[in-house]
Structure 1
Amino acid sequence: MNSLAFSGSFLFCRFGVSIPSRTRTKRSAGNHVVHATAVGERRRRRPQNVEGEFFVDQRCIDCDTCRWMAPRTFGSVDNMSAVIEQPISEDDRRRALQALLSCPTNSIHTEKPTKEIVHVQKSFPLAVDESRLPGIYYCGYHSEKSYGATAYLIIHPEGNILVDSPRYTELLARNIEIFGGAKFMFLTHMDDVADHDKWSKRFGCTRILHSRDVKESTVDVEMKLYGNGPWSIGTEFDLIHTPGHTEGSVCLHYKPLKVLFTGDHFAKSRDSEFSIFEQFNRVSVNMQLDSLRKLVDLDFKWILPGHGRSIQFRDNQEKNSALEAFLAQKKEAYVSI
């Protein structure tokens, strides 16, 4: 196994969901002068929202972020998010405001400004599970550039790691700085790089991306992975090449905590089913399934994805049984995995 040390020289031997056409159009339009009337229409309150303070506007891209962050408040109605129940308790209001800040298109609003937002801004990054996954955080502030992908921060004594890129905001940067900044930015694949360059400049972190997923916007990443790996970062992190969704998709295995950061390789869908999001596959579904089989050999209980929802297994045996069952199911639909 090749080692990518935390200091000194590096030795070396990237699912994001593709943007649906309607979303690409919106994003493209966002880079040019847009008629104020068009913008105003998209910012109007969706009629599907229940009456009350919080609401979602017409520009929602149905990325699901608010629905897993604040499931009591937000739901899916007519293929977009909407407020299904106004938050009343302190916890529900905090979660709704965290979703507001994390929405990649800034589509969540309150009827009037609230002073609570200042305190909520300070809550990021959010602990994934303080007791069972110490030192692992959701960054929040999802980016439309990566269709709302989730980025993570790993606090580690040998150097902190950003996993994929959140939307750049100085508020988040200052909060991450309190944790010690970031020494590395591991990019799982080409789709979820978002504001990687801004984060690199802010923290001086070394960006890691597989060479097969490098494109014009990432040509200057400091660390390009070559070949099939595996590679390692220090003593506790392995990088596993899992091509299929893209040629250079790579998962990060945090061995002591038994966590796998999968990017867009594998996740749980909003319907609580396992998913490889094959409708957005860029290269080969069969190749992605082959790569999924690799995960049977890894010891992990948690999957923290870029898109989709996290998965927790009781133990490695349950994980392997679930993966084998999923692969057998897919084998009926795809030729020779």
Structure 2
Amino acid sequence: MAEDKDDVDDHWHVSAACFNCGAVRTAAPNLFIERNGASAFAHQPASEQETEDAWRGVLLCPAAAVRAPKGLKMPAGLFPQVMAPGVWRLGYNARSSYGAHSYFTLAGGLRLMIDGPRWSGHLERWIAEAGGLDHILLTHRDDVADAGLYAKRFGARVWIHANDADGAPLVTDFVTGDQAHEMLPGVRVIPVAGHTRGSVMFLVNQALFSGDSLSWDFEKRALHAFRDFCWYDWPTQLRSLERLVHESFSGVFAGHGGSVVLDAPAMQRELRTFLDAVKAD
């Protein structure tokens, strides 16, 4: 049954424009669920935190499908959102990247964007106030979005693995090979071919920006990888992920899927549990 217009106007809701990218569910799993092949509110926001999460959904949703009650005023300062010390989620997810999350972080005095949001004047002003943008680090070809516009605005260098190079606008630098190494001061790149041939992760100050190769499943409370959305080769992706047992990280910040912060030993336990489970599957 269709909702009455007055009822919709009085309640938070997700419109039929939703194309089920899952972005709001992975940003606010306390508030959004999947229902009938689309995102939906699990319940109406019942606290100040849940109301902020709902408003973040409005800004984050690439289909503009998250709708607030008529007359309710949006608070300021929702994005960029602090995820961990020195890590911000940018929001403003793009339809062209199927709603992937993107991030901003600092390393060695450099200001870095990880993957691309859609263009936003608000983000442009925030980045300018933060001192600009030195590098845009692309985890793979799928999550580029409007990275080229931000690169042009701030004169930033754009990095992607050579095997995914044809998916990046204004690319200036290529990651090559299949060995982890320090590509910039304080930035370690870890090639993880599998989701795409040129997928990589970036490790910055214990924060692992994992693209679409590894994420956190809030329902299972476990690390997860998307076998059904592996575009290159699943066995290759699993072999690539095994490299992470030699790295130290306490946060996983995903493009698609959930993000999580644990202590480094706990993260390694979760990683080994995940790898053991997928090998046994």
CA distance in 2, matches of 1:95, 1:144: 20
Q: Compute the displacement of 1:323 (Å).
A: 2.3
Q: Where does 1:1-337 land on structure 2 (aligned, <5 Å)?
A: 52-114=10-72, 116-117=73-74, 119-120=75-76, 122-129=77-84, 134-156=85-107, 158-215=109-166, 217-218=167-168, 220-254=170-204, 257-272=205-220, 273-316=222-265, 318-333=266-281
Q: Compute the displacement of 1:181 (Å).
A: 1.9
Q: Hey, which bits of structure 1, 4+ residues long, moved more than 4 A?
A: 44-47
- Uncovered stretches (5+) of structure 1, i.e. residues with no partner: 1-43
**Change in 2 beyond 3 A, CA 1:140/1:177:** same
Q: Compute the displacement of 1:80 (Å).
A: 1.2
- Secondary structure at the residue paired with 1:104? coil
- Secondary structure at the residue paired with 2:268? helix
What is the number of residues matched between the two proteins? 278
- Secondary structure at the residue paired with 2:158? strand
- Uncovered stretches (5+) of structure 2, i.e. residues with no partner: none
RMSD: 2.3
1:241-265 residue CA offsets vs partner (Å, 9 max, x unmatched): 11111111111011xx312111011
1:135-168 residue CA offsets vs partner (Å, 9 max, x unmatched): 2100011111111111000034521000000111
Q: Compute the displacement of 1:110 (Å).
A: 2.3
Q: Compute the displacement of 1:50 (Å).
A: 8.2
**Change in 2 beyond 3 A, CA 1:46/1:304:** farther
What amino acid is aligned across from residue 330 of structure 1 in structure 2? Answer: V
CA distance in 2, matches of 1:262, 1:277: 12
CA distance in 2, matches of 1:110, 1:313: 33
Deviates more, 1:183-192 or 1:74-83: 74-83
What amino acid is aligned across from residue 49 of structure 2 in structure 1? Answer: D
TM-score, with structure 2 as normaliser? 0.90
- Which structure has the greater CA radius of gyration? 1
CA distance in 2, matches of 1:50, 1:67: 20
What amino acid is aligned across from residue 308 of structure 1 in structure 2? Answer: G
Aligned partner of 1:15 in structure 2 is none
Higher relative CO (CA 8 A, sep ≥ 6), structure 1 or 2?
Answer: 1
CA distance in 1, matches of 2:254, 2:56: 19
Answer yes or no: is the 8 Å Cα contact 1:182–1:203 preserved in 2. yes
What amino acid is aligned across from residue 127 of structure 1 in structure 2? Answer: V
Answer yes or no: is the 8 Å Cα contact 2:52–2:78 preserved in 1. no
Q: Compute the displacement of 1:197 (Å).
A: 1.2
